Amino acid sequence: MREKSIVQLGDYMSIEEKTALLTPKALRGSALVPMITPFDEKGDLDEKAVVRLVDHILDGGCQGIVACGTTGEAVSMSRKMRIRLAEICVKSMKGRGVLLFGIGDDILERSVEIGKAAIEAGVDALIAHLPSYYSITEPQMEKWFVDLADRINAPIFLYNIPQTTGLSLSLAAVKRLSHHPLIVGIKDSDANERRQIKLGRMFSKRKDFAYLCGAGELVNSAMLNGAVGFTPSLGNLLPELVSKLMKCHSNGDEAGYVSISNSLNELAKVLQGGRGISRGLSSLKAAVSRTRLCKPHMLLPLAGLTSSERTELGKSIKILGVGES
């Protein structure tokens, strides 16, 4: 358990105490899992399944959770549902790991409202991506994040994911934003190896800004060049394995790292299947549902796999040694 943590709704930590939990030193070697969000057949939040999934991830050895992000279908969730998710996650985690909470939205005011409520609930930090509807300039991108940080007055991670937003923060913009006292890190999911390596080298010696790699296939390159941790979506399914991967990296066990990495990459290929992010998310949730942790239901506009697709997926992942619990 962390020495300092928010363990109950209403507990108060200063900004300085919060940011102390989020330094590169504190996060080094971390696997922060971008958690799927469980829903029932009516599209309501499955609160009991959220608790089960939180326990599954943390008991599996992962150091924290990124809730209400891309993997969590945040953009399809109502403001009320997102705030409720923050409350459940805080109560369920009980200070056992770091909790980053997504506030990405196309409306600044809504992001601010969700962010303030999530901080009040007790999350450790917020994470936000760029708005995705308009094509905006670099100064506008920077102003978006500065306004979020200033108005919420809480630690924020930048989230760069051009695959969904259609926009990407330049490295120069990231560097400028990194000097804002409340912008404490970045999760970068751009599947560009040169960019990930440059990000790592840019922040490898910084003690006040943490770089997390969000591109699964590029974790090794990123970690070797300065990333402090990664955000494995497969941690929803196999938390022990992604935790072990980080331990191998931290201990210099190259053979172990390569072996686990290859296994995870094979599973990722089966789940993704060249179908893009949307179908990849449906496949991931369907795979997790086989463990009885949650149901495979998705929120519109995403759709769950059909019964026959789930059957075929089950056969494929069993071949890789991932079966029903």
pTM listed for this prediction: 0.91
Band of pLDDT at residue 13, cut at 50, 70 and 90: low
Partners of 45 in the β-ladder? 39
pLDDT reading at 176 higher than 80: yes
How much is the pLDDT for 172?
97
Domains of the chain, by residue range, sit at: 15-274
pLDDT reading at 15 higher than 80: no
pLDDT reading at 12 higher than 70: no
Q: What is the mean pLDDT of the chain?
A: 91
How much is the pLDDT for 49?
98
Q: What is the pLDDT of residues 30-52, one digit of tens each?
A: 999 999 999 999 999 999 999 99
Amino acid letter, 196: Q
Which SS3 state, helix, strand or coil, does residue 134 take?
A: coil
Pick 274 or 257 by higher pLDDT.
257
Q: What is the pLDDT of residues 199-241, one digit of tens each?
A: 999 999 999 999 999 998 888 889 989 999 999 999 999 999 9
Which residue from 168, 167, 164, 194 is spatially nearest to 276, judged by alpha carbons? 164
Which SS3 state, helix, strand or coil, does residue 107 take?
A: coil
Query: By the 8 A CB rule, do 57 and 65 touch?
Result: yes
How much is the pLDDT for 273?
73
Other CB atoms within 10 Å distance of the CB of residue 315: 9
How much is the pLDDT for 322?
74
> What is the architecture of the domain spanning 15-274?
Alpha-Beta Barrel (3.20)
Interval 136-165 mean pLDDT: 97
Tokens of 297: 């239901």
Q: Which residue has the tokens 């999934």?
A: 53
pLDDT reading at 9 higher than 90: no
pLDDT reading at 185 higher than 90: yes
Amino acid letter, 193: E
Least confident of 105-119, 174-188, 309-323: 309-323
